[in-house]
Structure formats: structure tokens, C-alpha cells
A and B are shown apart, each in its own frame.
Chain A
Amino acid sequence: MNPLLEQFISEARDLLPAIGEKLLQLETDPTSAELIKELFRLVHTLKGSSGLFEFPEMTRVLHAGEDLLDRVRDARVAYSRTLADRLLDGMDFVGMLLDEIEATGGINAAHADNSARLAQSLRQLTGDSDEAKPTESGSIAANSAPIGLDCQQPSNSSSSVDLSEIPENLRMQLYRDVLAGAPLTWLEYTPEEDCFFKGEDPLFLMQQIPETAWGNIAARQAWPPLAELDAYRCKLVFRALTTAGPAILHELFRYIPEQVCIVAVPATALLQPCGNENGEAVLEAESHARSFRTIVQTQREILGLPDSDALLPGRLKSIAAALAACLRAIGKTGLLAGLDAALEQALSVTKAGPLLAWLDEHLPEAQALKTAERRAEVTLQAGAQAAEPSAPHPEAAIKFGRRAEDSISSIKTVKVDQVKIDRLMNLIGEMVVAKNSLPYLASRAETQYGLRELSREIKAQYAVVNRIAEEMQNAIMQIRMMPVSFIFQRFPRLVRDTSRKLGKEVNLVLEGEDTEADKNIIEALADPLIHIVRNSLDHGIELPDSRRAAGKPAAGCLSIHASQETDRVLIEISDDGKGIDPDIIKRKAYEKGLIDEAALERITDKEAVNLVFAAGFSTVEVVSDLSGRGVGMDVVRSAVEKVSGIVSLDSEKGYGTRIRLSLPLSMAITHVMIIESNQRIFGVPIENVVETVRVSCAAVHTIKRRLTTVLRGRIVPLVALNDLLALDEPQQLNQDNEMAILVVRLNNDLIGVIVDDFRQTVDIILKPLTGILGGLPGYAGSALLGDGSVLMVLNFKELIK
């Protein structure tokens, strides 16, 4: 793919979400001129870029969208939900085309229909459904537009009159005549569509034109199918070139001046670029000469603009610079001195006059094509400008002094490939492990080689390396940090679309969007969050009628709140819907065999509602296409737990549901506690560990054939690690006859794991077990310790089942 296209795709990928976001913001604040202006600019930019490529399917939709937004911006079309819907559809379509371009390098022609349909639906809102003429042509002619169709669109370059249809030899002849001083006038006549009913005869009128050198009649637009053709409406445009003066024509068309465009044609306008259908070129009129004419004429036009403003000196200088460059380019350097003098004179009187006079004298071709119509525009514009003083743009008031900090921000960010950051992360991981070997080295220096001094120095150096490594680790983690807004930004659209589909009204409140967490965590969070939000919309929030009946406002409220608490990210999703009925949950759980009869009686309401997280639980009676696809909240739970997260739920029947997710900020480096059992060491992720206690054997009792003890007024069941690992050894006690108990939290229950001894905690890079070891569910993974030994990290969730 060529770099230009690549650039376009990457840019479009940035613009599309921004457009979507602005549209949704508009939904809450539909009158914000600032938002509409910004939205227009974004769509406009995207359309402009797409126009550089041959993607008519894409450009057509964007163009229609831009036109529509232009009307909205000028308050000619009111913002509406339908409008937002269609624009969003259009942008989705563009996004889809982008995917296709990226995958295949082009757009399948099959999309043309959709593109036309989308563009058409946008144009309907614009109030202009004629696809062929995106600008307000057809309708204008019928209105009281002052001038005809083509004349009305001033073209950017040489002329507003297209003379390329005139045969080459005739043009050559006319060129000579005009050079010799003969007048030549162009007339374009666009009769009103219902002119036949007003007693007008356009053809007859055209035939009255004296000295017609050339003429033609053409359809204004492509003809409709014969069946739809209205023969009583005039859809023609008449053009003629005559050597009669304009005065005669004005006289002839005096009753319908608004339908004609009469222009005196200068000789230069007859010069056409080479390569047209007529074959050879008139004189040496190629693009350079055409450019020259355009530039000189434009400078003449600028000089004719009202010159009572502060920009005049700068404008004059730039005009002189442009003219001088043109003169140099065509080799007329002899004129440069005169130009300079004219500029000096103009500057000294702060008027364009002297320069204008010089231009008219030395480059008379500049006067060409100052059409009557364009003059009218100029005076009209001048009047308008006088009425509203200059600098209508607030930004224009920004002065030099203030820019520095504004602009630097644009180059403060660097896009880096994710792979490079991952590599850095792996390296710092290895660094952390490598630095952990220094304390071992220090103790060996002391115990094995008896070098106490060296040992102390190594320890001191270790402290330094440790500090730097920690800072580095932090810095790199910062790079990987992403704001949760990355996932949040899709919710406004999701909630909007889903709730509309369900016929519900929902206000979404997002808070704490700038809370940051590691990229992996954020990515892992996306699916569970979407599932939770869908669940809330589908099952939580009621239909407006039932809400009103329950005395609640018709529009439900769904709030998603993110915050950071020490080294965890908390995300809370709450709705004010109907909540979860614990009795229904209990009954279902019992029916599905998830709990037994005893539990049915025993469990609290809070425990009951948390049963929705149990595997194989789904409360939906009817499977809708939104949630309830057979996967329930257990999928959410396991996805969250996969990244060492915790999920919990509370709900009050009739008042709503709240789900909390708690996730680590980062999962690249795991903090583990090392424990000892049967002369082996194992790691336990610190987030599982609630506390470590030593309990006297006397305080351990057997209840229902299970070991238990009472900790802080709570009965805690105990299991021996050796039993869990099927090691046929009793656990060791210390000399005071106490058991070492590691209290861990599993699904909100506390369990005491009896081990032999506790050791220190360390930072490790946890590597999942691969190959044949991957089948061992009891281990979360392995890690390399500083002394080179391997630490197996336990997964109690699997071990204790």
C-alpha cells in the first residue's frame, strides 16, 4: 500500500471516532455551535482527504454528510436524532470501507448501492435530494437567484465561462478578431422551468441574438427516464457567443435579467489548454500560460477589493511578490523595476491604486474576465464586510505572544509500536529478576568467602540498583498506562443504540474516564464491561411505562464510574433498574443444582444475588439478541479473574443493581509471598493473601470432619497445603507448637491454608506454564528467582475446589 493511502487510513481512523463522539455529545447539547462547528470541521477534513483518492463510494457519503452539517452549522437545518442516526450510519459505512481498503487496497463496486442510498438519506435531510447536483443548483434556478446556473458557480481558475466546446478554428478566428478590437460577448440563458406558461419562448429569444458566432442548447441535468419526463417544464440551458456588444443583449433580455449571464469575453479566455477533443492547441496555451493568467487576474481582483484595512501593506507586498515571481518565470524581468516602484508608491499612500494602475498598464490581460457577475459579487461582499467588521473568527485574535505553549503540545506525543514497549517491559522484567540476585551474592560473599566488607558494599550497591530499577519499572509502566476512556468511549454509542433498540430511555453517566491502568488490563476489561452494560440495559432498566408505574422517572440512569485506589482500579457500574430478586435467584440456583436445600435456607440475600456469577447460571427467560446468549455473568467473572480482578454485585429489588470490578493497575510484575512446605518453596500472589497467622494446635478444632479455627470471631476452615498438593507428609509445626496459617480469600470466602513456614515477599515476572506442564491447573505459573532457582506460583482457586 502506498504511504499516502496508509497515512489516509491512519488519519481516518483517528477522525471517525472523534466524529462519533461529537455526534453523541451533540445529542445532549444539540444547540452548541462550538460542537457543530468542530463536527463539521472533522467531517470536512475527512472528506477533503478522501477526495485525494478514487473512492467515490466513500467520498459521496462524506460529501453528503458535510453538506448536511454545513446546513446545520448555518442553522438552515435543525439538528435531530434522525440526523445523528443517519450520520452515524454513514460514518459506520465509511469505517467499513476503510477496513476493506486496508485489507484489499480498494473498494468493492458492490458498495456503490449502499453508498448512494446513504448519501441519498443524508441529502433528504439537507432538503436537497438531487444526488447529481450536490450544490443547490436546480432549486435555485426556480427561486429568485440573480444569475444562471453555471455563471453562478465562480470557478477557481481561469474563467467562469467554459469555451472549450467551441471548435478550435472558430476559437482561433475569434481570438484574432478580439485582438483586433472586436467585441465578443458570452451569453448564458437559463429559463425558468415554467417559462412556457408565462408566454416565453426561449428558443425564439435566442434566435433574436444578432451576429451569433456560436451557440448551443443543452440539458441542465441528465435527462430522467422518458416516463418521468415532464415535457412542459423547460430544463434547458442556452449558450451563445456573439460579436454583438453586451448592450444589445441586455436590451434583448431586459425582462428576464435574472435568468441570463452576459459576459464580455477577453481574448485570453479563448486560449484553451492543449489536449482537448479538438486536437491541436491554440497558440502555446498550456498549463503554464493558464496558470499565469489565473495568477495575474487574481492579483488584479485582489487589488480591486476594498483596501481600507490593516492588512493592506502585507497584502500589497504579497501581490507584488506573486507578480514579480510570475514576471521572472516568463522572463519579463525588465518590468520588475517598474513593479517595485509601483509597490513603493502604493505603500506610501496605503492604497492599491498605484499598483492597480501599473498592472493595468503593463499586464492588460489581468483585466480580462472581470465579469459583471464577479464585480457584483465583489461589491456585494464589500458591502457585507463593511457591515460586519473584519476578524469574524475569534481565533484570529490570537497574537504572537500566546502561541508557544499551544503549539508545542502537538509534538509532545510520539506514536510507538506496542511491540517496542512490550520488549522494554520484558527487559525491565529481566532486570528486576537480575537485580534480585545481588542480595544472594552479598550473603554468599559473607558466608562462603568471609568477605564481610565486600558483602556490605554489594548490599549498598544493590540499594542503588534497586531504586533505579524500580523507577524504571514505574516509568515503563506509565508508558503502558491507558485511560479507561479507551473503553468508556464506546459506551455512549452502545447505550444509545441498545436502548433505542429495546425501546428504553437511558441516561448514561460516565465518571473518572481519565483513570489509568495497564493496557492489558484495559483491554481485558472491555468485553466484561460491555457484557455488564448490556445486561443492565436488557434486564436491569425497565421500559418507560413500567418505570413510571413504579414511580421512577421514565428515563433510567446507568452510571459507570472508574477510580483508582492504591494499586487497584475500581470500576462501578450501577443502574436504577428493577434490581435482582434474591428469591428468584435462589430458586433458579436450586433448580439448576448449584446449591443444595440446606444452602437455600442458609444463604443471605447478598450471597444469593452473587450466585449469578456461578458457572451455568443464567436468569433470562427469553434469550434476546443483546445479552443472554447462553453466556452469563460467569463469563464476566472468569474474564475479570483472569487478570487478577475481583467482581462483586449488590442489588436491591426495585431499586437497581451495582457491580464493582476491582483490578490491579498492572499485571506485568507480580508481587508474591513465598511460603515453605515439605522443604519446598511456593509462591502465592499477594492479592490472594488476607493475612498470615500462627495458631496454636489447641485452637484448631474438627467440625464436621473439617479442620477449623476461629479468627477474629469468624470460623475459618483450614486445609493443609501438603494435602492439596498430594504430598504425603504432615505439616511442620514450629517449636511453640503453632501452625503457620496463610489466610486466603476465595470467592469472598476465607480459607486458612496450613503451611510449614512463611518467607519473604518478592517481585517476579510470572510466566505461564507451557507445553505439557500447561495442563497443571494448580499452578498459576512459574518465575525465576534471583538465585537462579524456579519458583512455582500456586493457584488456590483451582487447588481448593
Chain B
Amino acid sequence: MKRILVVDDAATVRLYHRNILESSGYTVDEAVNGIEALEKTLQMQFDLYIVDVNMPKLDGYGFLEELRSHDLPQAPAMMVSTEAGARDRIRALSVGANLYLVKPVKPEELLSHARLLLGEAET
């Protein structure tokens, strides 16, 4: 069973992602900020991260930077942002995001990316 960690401070967005991903049979975990996400990462291994940018305490950039600078299994991460600007995109990619998506992400788009990043053939 593939395990995905959704990191977002907005409960609505977490639920949205959870609904989409769970309906495709993935196990979804949630974290409300970067700190909590890091903590969960230390406790268990995830196959994919879906990370928001703006969060209190430790934002998405900070989380990815922290994650990528540690000797942990490095699962792919999608960063989901409302900013369509090139600077934000480059910043996300340079701190360790593997994909940069602009909100709101359509369910089919999210799923097809997730499937590929989890190494699953199309259905």
C-alpha cells in the first residue's frame, strides 16, 4: 500500500487531497505544517509528499529543504502553490520539489501525477 503525506495548513485542502487519493486506494497521512511533516517523516516512510507553500511555523520550502538535507529515504514531492510565477517555481524546485503545481489542482491531474510518481501503470 502506497503512503502519501499531505502537508497543508488548510484543513479543507487536506480533505480535498485525501478524498481524491483515498478513492484511488492510497493511504493518506496529514500534517498541518512543516514541523509536523518532518516529525511524521521520522516515524514512518512515505512514498510521496504533497506540500503546500504557505504554512505557519515551517513553510513548504523550509520543510523540503530540511527533508532533502537529511539522510532519509527521499521520496518524490509535489509542491502545490497558488503562485504561478516562475520565481516561486524555481525556488520550489531548487529546495527539492520534484513537481510544481498551481492550485487548484484538478483531481485527474493530481491522480495521474501521483500514479506516475508512485510507479504505477495507468489504469
Contacts and interface: CB of A to CB of B under 8 A. Distances in A.
Interface of A: 3-4, 7-8, 10-11, 38, 40-41, 44-49, 51-52, 66, 135, 153-157, 286-288, 290-292, 294-295, 298-299, 301-302, 305-306, 309-311, 313-315, 317-319, 321-322, 324-331, 374, 377-378, 381, 385, 390-391, 393, 395-396, 398, 400, 403-404, 406-407, 410
A41 B54 contact: yes
A160 to B, nearest CB: 10
Nearest to B114: A291
Given A48-B82, A295-B98, A311-B96, A11 B11 contact: yes
B116 A295 contact: yes
B65 A396 contact: yes
Q: Which 4 A-B pairs have the closest CB atoms?
A: A314-B68, A325-B119, A328-B119, A317-B74
A310 B65 CA distance: 9
Given A302-B93, A311-B65, A295 B104 contact: no
22 contacts: A8-B12, A11-B12, A44-B82, A46-B10, A48-B13, A48-B103, A154-B84, A298-B100, A299-B98, A301-B93, A302-B93, A311-B69, A314-B68, A314-B96, A315-B68, A315-B96, A326-B117, A329-B121, A377-B87, A400-B38, A400-B70, A407-B39
B119 A326 contact: yes
Given A7-B12, A317-B74, A407-B39, 15 more contacts: A4-B16, A11-B11, A48-B10, A154-B89, A156-B100, A157-B101, A294-B113, A302-B98, A318-B77, A321-B75, A325-B117, A325-B119, A328-B120, A329-B119, A381-B87
Contacts of A385: 94
A301 to B, nearest CB: 6
A331 B58 contact: no
Interface in B64-93: 65-77, 82, 84-87, 89-91, 93
A666 B67 CA distance: 49
Contacts of A301: 93
A330 B118 CA distance: 11
Contacts of A391: 65
Contacts of B72: 314
Contacts of A329: 115-116, 118-122
Contacts of A325: 76, 116-119
Contacts of A11: 10-12
B28 interface: no
B122 to A, nearest CB: 4
A310 B86 contact: no
A396 B112 contact: no
Interface string B8-37: 011111011001000000000000111110
Contacts of A314: 67-70, 72, 74, 96
Contacts of B70: 314, 400
Nearest to A397: B62
Contact of B96 (A4, A47, A318): A318
B116 A292 contact: yes
Nearest to B31: A407
Given A291-B116, A321-B76, A400-B42, A410 B69 contact: no
Given A48-B82, A403-B38, A305 B113 contact: no
A318 B104 contact: no
Given A11-B10, A318-B75, A396-B61, A406 B35 contact: yes
A381 to B, nearest CB: 4
Nearest to B102: A156
B102 to A, nearest CB: 4
B93 A298 contact: yes
B94 to A, nearest CB: 5
A295 B90 contact: no
A338 to B, nearest CB: 16
A10 B38 CA distance: 27
A298 B12 contact: no
Nearest to A377: B86
B112 A398 contact: no
B93 to A, nearest CB: 5
A288 B115 contact: yes
Contact of B16 (A52, A295, A318, A319): A52
A322 B73 CA distance: 12
A40 B38 CA distance: 24
Interface of B: 9-13, 15-16, 19, 32-36, 38-39, 42, 52, 54-59, 61-62, 65-77, 82, 84-87, 89-91, 93-96, 98-104, 108-109, 112-113, 115-122
B122 A393 contact: no
Contacts of B115: 288, 291, 329
A41 B16 CA distance: 19
A156 B84 contact: yes
B82 to A, nearest CB: 5
Contacts of A311: 65, 68-69, 94-96
B74 to A, nearest CB: 4
A393 B67 CA distance: 15
A40 to B, nearest CB: 8
A305 B42 CA distance: 28
Given A3-B15, A317-B74, A403-B38, A298 B98 contact: yes
Contact of B11 (A7, A294, A299, A395): A7
Contacts of A41: 54-56
Contacts of B86: 154, 374, 377, 381
B12 A407 contact: no
A398 B62 contact: yes
A396 B58 contact: yes
Contacts of B113: 291, 294-295
Which of the listed residues B59, B100, B113 has the most CB atoms from chain A within 10 Å of its own CB? B113
A44 B118 contact: no
A291 B117 CA distance: 10
B42 A393 contact: no
Given A156-B101, A395-B34, A288 B112 contact: yes
A45 B9 contact: yes
Nearest to A156: B102
A657 B69 CA distance: 62
B35 A398 contact: yes
Given A393-B59, A395-B62, A153 B84 contact: yes
Nearest to A3: B15
Contacts of A315: 68, 74, 96
A140 to B, nearest CB: 12
A203 to B, nearest CB: 30
Given A49-B10, A326-B116, A4 B15 contact: yes
Nearest to B120: A329
Given A305-B90, A329-B120, A403 B39 contact: yes
Nearest to B91: A381
Contacts of B93: 298, 301-302, 305
A586 B113 CA distance: 79
B38 to A, nearest CB: 7
Nearest to A38: B56
Contacts of A324: 119
A295 to B, nearest CB: 6
Contacts of A318: 68, 74-77, 96, 98
Nearest to A400: B38
Contacts of B12: 4, 7-8, 11, 49, 52
A555 B66 CA distance: 49
A54 to B, nearest CB: 11
B34 to A, nearest CB: 7
Nearest to B108: A287
A156 B109 CA distance: 11
Contact of B89 (A156, A288, A319): A156
Nearest to B14: A7
Contacts of B55: 41
A38 B54 CA distance: 10
Nearest to A15: B10
B65 A44 contact: no
A410 B56 CA distance: 12
A328 B2 CA distance: 14
Contacts of B66: 396, 398, 400
